[in-house]
Amino acid sequence: MAKQPRHTEPPTRGVHESLHELATRHIREMIVKSELGPGARLHEQALSEALGISRTPVREAIRALAAEGLVEVLSNKGAVVREMTVDEVLDTFQVIGALDSLVGDLAVANMTPQDLADLEDMHDRMRSRFEAKDLFGYFKANQEIHRKLVAISGNATLQRQLQGLNAQVQPYRYSVNIDRESWERSVRDHEAFMDALRDRDPAALAKLLRQHLPAKSDVVRHAFASASALKRPRTVRRRSSSMMVGRE
């Protein structure tokens, strides 16, 4: 059973942030960064002590994260971090890519000069986090850009669908950039997004966004294969008079 990570001090509470929102944000970040990995049990008491708050907002946070699809509440185990199969992750990436393509079409059509200026600022902040080798800061800035594009699209149904799908795969979107080559490719993709936005080219942006996430499929498969290999127990088998070490 996974243990809850230890924290030396409670997280900083944002302005106007409720205790429930604080707990939700912090536990979500722990899941995204794999401090709480797939299958890890969420112990309310340990989390409340780590956050320096009571168990009530932690319980509310767990319910909120279950609604997002990051947590499952099981009758015999309590709340655990949701485990997705490689096929589930890749299928979700594919659907997100298709929806993001529509976002590209609509965003270019609806984008105002101020929207473009905002995206330029967001892109610069994301780029600065990359140069600082701040992976989580980069991830947050990256997601801010994607949310901005969806907002510019002006399609509320599209926004709801993408919000739900992206919430489920946040840990995997974050972890693919642990691979440096994948991270650099992500930055290049975003540079190309900005070129298409500056040129007001909906076809180019739609194509880039469709391919952006599915292009990371090989990194996801490798990560799952590596994790699976680490979980396999080493066993000793006897064959005739010799001994061999194998994996089962």
180-206 confidence digits (pLDDT tens): 999 999 999 999 999 999 999 999 999
Which helix (H) or strand (E) covers residue 92, if one does? Answer: helix 86-110
pLDDT of residue 9: 54
Q: Which of 213, 226, 207 has its CA nearest to residue 170?
A: 213
pLDDT of residue 14: 58
Which helix (H) or strand (E) covers residue 150, if one does? Answer: helix 135-153
pLDDT of residue 234: 42
How many other C-beta atoms are found inside a 10 Å radius of the C-beta of residue 233? 6
Per-domain residue ranges of the chain? 19-81, 86-215
Dihedral of alpha carbons 93, 108, 163, 124, sign:
positive
Instruction: Please state the separation of Cα 221 from the chain's center in Å.
Output: 16
CATH architecture group of domain 86-215 = Up-down Bundle (1.20)
Backbone angles phi, psi at 85, to 5 degrees: -80, 165
pLDDT of residue 76: 79
pLDDT of residue 227: 73
Q: Which of 191, 186, 58 has its CA nearest to residue 120?
A: 191
pLDDT of residue 11: 62
pLDDT of residue 246: 36
Residues of the chain below pLDDT 50: 1-3, 6-8, 230, 232-248
Q: Would you tell me which CATH number, out of the four given (3.40.1130.10, 3.30.413.10, 1.10.10.10, 3.40.50.300), belongs to the domain 19-81? A: 1.10.10.10
Q: Which of 67, 74, 69, 71 has its CA nearest to residue 38?
A: 71
